Amino acid sequence: MPVLFKLLKLVAPNWKAMALATFFSFLTIASNIGLLAVSALLIARAALHPPILYLMPLIVGVRFFGISRAVFRYLERYISHKTTFGILKEIRVWFYSCLEPLAPAALSGYRRGELLSNLVNNVETLKHFYLRVLAPPATALVILMVTSAFLARFEIKLALTFFFFYVLAGIGTPILIKILISGVGQQLVKVTTALNAHLVDCIQGMTELTVFGHKERYEQETRKLGKKLVGLQGHEAGLTGLANTLTGLLANLTLWTFLVLAIPLVEKGELEGIYLAMLVLAAYSGFEAIYPLPLITKNLEESLAAGKNLIQITAIQPQVQENLAYPTCQLQEASLRIEGLSFRYDENEPWVLQNINLELLPGERLAIIGPSGAGKSTLINLLLRFWEYEKGKIYLGGYDLKSLPPELVRSYFSVVSQQTHLFNATVKENLLLAKPTATPEEIIAACQKAHLHDFIETLPRGYETYIGEKGLKLSGGQRQRLAIARALLKDAPFLILDEATNGLDAVTERELWQELAKITGGKTTLIITHRLTGLEKVDKILRLNEKGQIKENGPLSY
- Nearest Cα neighbor of 352 from 385, 402, 390, 318 is 390
Q: Are strands 494-498 and 413-416 parallel, antiparallel or unpaired?
A: parallel
Residue 2 pLDDT:
81
- In this predicted structure, the answer to whether residue 170 has a pLDDT above a threshold of 60 is yes
- In this predicted structure, the answer to whether residue 404 has a pLDDT above a threshold of 50 is yes
Contact 32, 288 (CB under 8 A): yes
The residues pairing with 549 across neighbouring beta strands, listed in sequence order, are: 354
Residue spans per domain, the chain: 2-314, 336-554
Weakest mean pLDDT among 56-65, 101-110, 464-473: 101-110
Weakest mean pLDDT among 71-80, 101-110, 161-170: 101-110
The CATH homologous superfamily for domain 336-554 is: P-loop containing nucleotide triphosphate hydrolases (3.40.50.300)
- In this predicted structure, the answer to whether residue 449 has a pLDDT above a threshold of 70 is yes
190-248 pLDDT, tens digit each:
888 888 888 888 887 787 788 888 888 888 989 999 999 999 889 888 888 898 999 99
3-state secondary structure at position 506: helix
Residue 463 pLDDT:
93
3-state secondary structure at position 525: strand
The residues pairing with 367 across neighbouring beta strands, listed in sequence order, are: 527, 541
Query: What percent of the chain is modeled with pLDDT above 70?
Result: 94
From CA 298, how far away is CA 117, in angstroms rounded?
A: 20
Question: pTM of the full predicted structure?
Answer: 0.75
Residue 553 pLDDT:
61
Residue 502 pLDDT:
66
Q: Report, as an integer, the average pLDDT of 357-378.
A: 85
Q: Report, as an integer, the average pLDDT of 168-179.
A: 89
84-99 pLDDT, tens digit each:
999 989 898 888 888 8
H/E stretch holding 487? helix 476-490
Residue 450 pLDDT:
82
Contact 414, 487 (CB under 8 A): yes
Residue 282 pLDDT:
93
- Nearest Cα neighbor of 483 from 535, 413, 431 is 431
3-state secondary structure at position 329: coil
From CA 358, how far away is CA 215, in angstroms rounded?
A: 47
Helix 184-204 vs helix 296-314: crossing angle, to nearest 10: 50
Which amino acid belongs to residue 79? I
Residue 1 pLDDT:
64
For the chain, give the mean pLDDT.
Answer: 86
Q: Report, as an integer, the average pLDDT of 271-276.
A: 90
124-162 pLDDT, tens digit each:
888 888 888 889 999 999 999 999 999 999 999 999 999
Residue 214 pLDDT:
82
Q: Report, as an integer, the average pLDDT of 278-282.
A: 93
Contact 150, 41 (CB under 8 A): no
- Which one of 1.20.1050.10, 3.30.460.80, 1.20.1560.10, 3.40.50.11930 gives the CATH number of domain 2-314? 1.20.1560.10
Which amino acid belongs to residue 408? L
Weakest mean pLDDT among 294-303, 322-331, 382-391, 443-452: 322-331
Q: Report, as an integer, the average pLDDT of 180-197.
A: 82
CA 349 to chain centre: 32
Residue 558 pLDDT:
40
Residue 281 pLDDT:
93
Q: How far is CA 128 from CA 185, 304, 448, 531, in A?
A: 12, 11, 52, 55
Q: Report, as an integer, the average pLDDT of 362-373.
A: 85
- In this predicted structure, the answer to whether residue 305 has a pLDDT above a threshold of 70 is yes
Q: Residue 248, class by beta-carbon neighbours within 10 Å (0-12 exposed, 13-18 middle, 19+ buried)?
A: middle
* pLDDT class of 443 with cuts at 50, 70, 90: very high
From CA 258, how far away is CA 272, in angstroms rounded?
A: 14
Residue 555 pLDDT:
54
308-330 pLDDT, tens digit each:
888 888 888 877 776 655 566 67
Q: Which residues contact 36 (CB under 8 A, 6 or more apart)?
A: 281, 282, 284, 285
Composition of the chain by helix, strand, coil, percent to 5 = 65, 10, 25
Q: Residue 101, class by beta-carbon neighbours within 10 Å (0-12 exposed, 13-18 middle, 19+ buried)?
A: middle
Residue 388 pLDDT:
86
- In this predicted structure, the answer to whether residue 412 has a pLDDT above a threshold of 80 is yes
Q: Which residues contact 311 (CB under 8 A, 6 or more apart)?
A: 2, 3, 6
* pLDDT class of 331 with cuts at 50, 70, 90: confident
